[in-house]
Amino acid sequence: MDRDTHTMGMLCHLLGLSGFLGVPFGNILGPLVMWLIKREECAFADACGKEALNFQISMTIYSVVALLSILAFIGIVLFPVILILNIVYTIIASIRASEGTNYQYPFTIRFIK
């Protein structure tokens, strides 16, 4: 694999953070767009895109559940934890992808195989 391949894989993961920049559903749309553009020409970007997309969809579901559980007060603690885990695991995956390693996120529901 060359450096461009690693960069495409890294971008698939990093674009998951675009939701924190105020883009509605940017955490899902960023990796989705990159994956759809690069999946045919780069197997590594295909794998990274699927993994990032599955993770961001899972985190969105977990966040919605945490927000709904604020009424039971558990969401007050759970929601910030989910946000922090999202950021930390996305950065870890991005670093691994820049090194050319596939990273499997924990707590991920495999929607796209």
Using CA atoms, how far residue 53 sits from 8, 57, 80, 86, in Å, is: 14, 6, 21, 12
**Rounded to an integer, what distance in angstroms lies between the CA atom of residue 24 and that of residue 21?**
9
> pLDDT by residue (tens digit) across 36-79?
999 999 999 999 999 999 999 999 999 999 999 998 888 899 99
- Residue 3's pLDDT band (boundaries 50, 70, 90)? confident
The yes-or-no verdict on residue 1 having pLDDT over 80 is no
Q: Is the pTM of this model over 0.95?
A: no
> pLDDT by residue (tens digit) across 12-31?
999 999 999 998 999 999 99
Determine the average pLDDT of the residues in 85-93: 97
